[in-house]
Amino acid sequence: MTQNIYDDGGFFENYSQLPRSLRGLDGAPEWPALRALLPPLQGARVLDLGCGFGWLCRWAVEQGAASVLGVDVSERMLERARGETSSPAVRYERADLESFAPAAGEFDLVYSSLAFHYLVDLAGVLTRAGAALKPGGMLVCSVEHPIMTAPRHQGWASDASGLPTWPVGGYLDEGPRVTDWLAQGVVKQHRMLGSYLNLLIAAGLELRHVEEWGPSPEQVAAEPDWAKERERPPFLLLAARRSR
């Protein structure tokens, strides 16, 4: 079973102060790129795996979604999500994604933002996610980029010209990586980029777009601190379609 770090008190307090927690989707710099991968949501049935505070669930209703199911393992996050959601089209369910079994052939969109890199049995989750889609339905997700998750000791260094570099090691050795992000001892699973893609293909999905996201030059102009995020991509955004 995956570590439920989001119900750790210190982690939750720190996570709640991030721009993406305070400002929602617009506080996440990768959101415009991720949104561009979504299918039209008018009348759609949506499943959000790792819905957190429910920002995407509420946004999907604004876009005309017929129903939205948000699933998360964190009781604290769901409590806030329920408190901020008034639409009857949204339902939240507490579940460990590794054992959650959505109804088959039900959804036009399965969405997941920055959750899959915590999961040990991602193959099982993606198989069930693929089966949960209607034929023609889309899976759109983001994860921490494998270049980010690979190193045993993650952090920036400098090259000979003083430019920031991200030393990569351990890339081929998939498995847990322990970092001190927002709290000590947060466990994420490093997977090769190819492994994410091959798992989607094995789940019966056809890859439609693979984006190694970093801030655009325009975003860097507005937020100069983000410049180094163009040296290596922090996030991987994927879109795949159920074709059969």
What tokens appear for 110 in the block? 């399965």
CB of 150 to a second copy, least distance (A): 8
Is the Cβ of residue 82 or residue 209 nearer to a second copy in the bound state?
Answer: 209
Distance CA 228, CA 58 (A): 32
CB of 159 to a second copy, least distance (A): 5
Is the Cβ of residue 71 or residue 238 nearer to a second copy in the bound state?
Answer: 238
Torsions phi, psi of 154, nearest 5? Answer: -90, 135
Q: Write out the residues near a second copy by the rule CB under 8 A.
A: 147, 150-153, 157, 159-161, 163-173, 192-194, 197-198, 201, 206-212, 214, 230-233, 236
Is the Cβ of residue 168 or residue 187 nearer to a second copy in the bound state?
Answer: 168
Distance CA 113, CA 56 (A): 9
CB of 202 to a second copy, least distance (A): 10
CB of 116 to a second copy, least distance (A): 16
First to last CA, the chain: 30
Q: For residue 141, give the DSSP letter.
A: E
Is the Cβ of residue 108 or residue 229 nearer to a second copy in the bound state?
Answer: 229
Q: From residue 62, how far is each of 32, 46, 71, 203 by CA, in Å?
A: 16, 13, 19, 30
